[in-house]
Amino acid sequence: MAREPGYCLHKPSGKAYVNLGGKVHYLGVYGTDESKEKYRAIKAEWLVNRHAGAFAPVASTGHSMAEVVLAFLHHAKSYYTVQSVYLNLERACWPIDEMYGSLNAKDFGVVQFRACRDWWLKNPKRSRGYINEHARRLLAIIKWGVGQGMVPPSVYQACKCVETLKAGRTTAPESQKVTCVPQVLVDATLLCLTPIVADMVRLQQLLGCRPGEVCSITPAMVDRSTEVWTITLDSHKNAWRGKTRTLYAGPKSQAILSKYLLRAENSACFSPIESEKQRLKAKHEARVTPLNQGNRPGSNVARKPRTKPGPAFTTGTYARSILYACKRAFPSPKTLTKEAEKQWNADHSWSPNQLRHSTATFIRKEFCGSGFAGVS
């Protein structure tokens, strides 16, 4: 495998440079963020275009791609009511932020768009479908910029001609299909979850809803006027199509949900802040070190976590809570190699998306017969 061009220092001038195919390109003062951004952008474009003959990087002046991205994210924050949609659009902007923040919007073209797509290819865990979806989101951001007069229409038309990654013709792996999760794994994991997250898992199983839907439930959405409670979701996957989404809670679901309805009507029923308090309390109760030794609750003022719990669970934090619990419920044997340990963790972990499939499979077998294939 050929070595990628490196970020180098020209000692006499103190400038950074990169050697691409025998030609030196100067990037500005060595060690600055601007020179590193230019290096990443030029290298990415060269990797895309190295077999096309002469390579000339595009100069960056005037109105920048960073301004387009910031304006779009400001718009998307209020326009997209489903949080996961906004987070995915934010992720689609990462290669722009890393490589083309200072690039003039009119100079963004096919080479730069392909370089952004190849930026996701660097991580071998990202599937072909994941990369194609993020490339489509990036194209949608460019299209929005055209509609706002910030990006020339020719930029969108040119980037639109870039083909998506095809199956069997790329190094990106195919995404695995979502399958059912064995109930044995779920039962063992529930013992290692906080009571709040465990109730989320049980409720999702009973309702057969999506992970994002169980995270977004608020007391205001729950109608308790009938024997079967109805939960009308304010935001959901198909809300933009004008469709409504209603969940029906029977006695078992009501027993779980009723514990979380005595709070502000528009606040999330399942609070990450309360869940974290439960986790720390359980950790303190399992403590074996005497209280007069080591840290006591509230005394470790130097502890500054990178992130603090938010007002509601996201699909990401919900899934990570389950993943960590799986590792505690099924610790890998110490004798395993790294590859064997990865396989062990894969065999003994599951995601909340699988709960919906498990519920649908149960309903199909129990009530619809083995020949029915209409449940999704």
| Domain range list for the chain | 8-49, 65-160, 183-288+309-365
Look up residue 271 and give its two tokens. 């609070």
| Percentage of residues of the chain with pLDDT beyond 90 | 40
- What is the per-residue pLDDT for 51? 56
Across the chain, where does the E strand assignment appear? 8-10, 15-20, 23-29, 222-223, 229-232, 246-249
Flag whether pLDDT at 22 surpasses 90. Answer: no
Distance CA 49, CA 78 (A): 38
Judged by average pLDDT, the poorest of 32-36, 57-61, 173-177 is: 57-61
User: How wide is the angle at C-alpha 273 spanned by C-alphas 209 and 200, nearest 5°?
Assistant: 20
Mean pLDDT of all residues in 242-269: 91
Tell which wins on pLDDT, 322 or 16. Answer: 322
Residue entry with tokens 């990865």: 342
Flag whether pLDDT at 165 surpasses 60. Answer: yes
CA distances from 355 to 89, 183, 186, 279, 322 (A): 26, 9, 9, 23, 12
Flag whether pLDDT at 60 surpasses 60. Answer: no
Tell which wins on pLDDT, 201 or 174. Answer: 201
Flag whether pLDDT at 296 surpasses 90. Answer: no
Mean pLDDT of all residues in 276-303: 77
Burial class of 27 by CB neighbour count within 10 A (0 to 12, 13 to 18, 19+): buried
Burial class of 169 by CB neighbour count within 10 A (0 to 12, 13 to 18, 19+): exposed
The CATH architecture annotation of domain 183-288+309-365 reads: Orthogonal Bundle (1.10)
Look up residue 317 and give its two tokens. 């934090």
Is the overall model pTM greater than 0.95, yes or no? no
Flag whether pLDDT at 271 surpasses 90. Answer: yes
Distance CA 67, CA 97 (A): 10
Distance CA 38, CA 30 (A): 11
- What is the per-residue pLDDT for 372? 41
Flag whether pLDDT at 302 surpasses 60. Answer: no
Under the banding of pLDDT at 50, 70 and 90, the label for residue 335 is confident
Tell which wins on pLDDT, 257 or 52. Answer: 257
Contact (CB, 8 A) for 117 and 162: yes
β-bridge partners, 17: 8, 26
Residue entry with tokens 């200072």: 102
Mean pLDDT of all residues in 309-330: 92
- What is the per-residue pLDDT for 56? 60
Radius of gyration in angstroms for the set of CA atoms belonging to the chain, rounded to a whole number: 25
Under the banding of pLDDT at 50, 70 and 90, the label for residue 19 is confident
Strand pairing of 222-223 and 23-29?
Answer: unpaired
β-bridge partners, 230: 223, 248
- What is the per-residue pLDDT for 371? 45
Contact (CB, 8 A) for 135 and 96: no
Judged by average pLDDT, the poorest of 130-134, 202-206, 242-246, 323-327 is: 242-246
Under the banding of pLDDT at 50, 70 and 90, the label for residue 62 is very low
Tell which wins on pLDDT, 370 or 4. Answer: 4
Contact (CB, 8 A) for 9 and 28: no
> Over the chain, what is the mean pLDDT?
85
- What is the per-residue pLDDT for 304? 65
Contact (CB, 8 A) for 76 and 86: yes
Tell which wins on pLDDT, 18 or 301. Answer: 18
Q: Write the single-letter amino acid at 363.
A: I
Tell which wins on pLDDT, 205 or 366. Answer: 205
Residue entry with tokens 């029923």: 269
Judged by average pLDDT, the poorest of 44-48, 239-243, 287-291 is: 239-243
Distance CA 272, CA 314 (A): 9
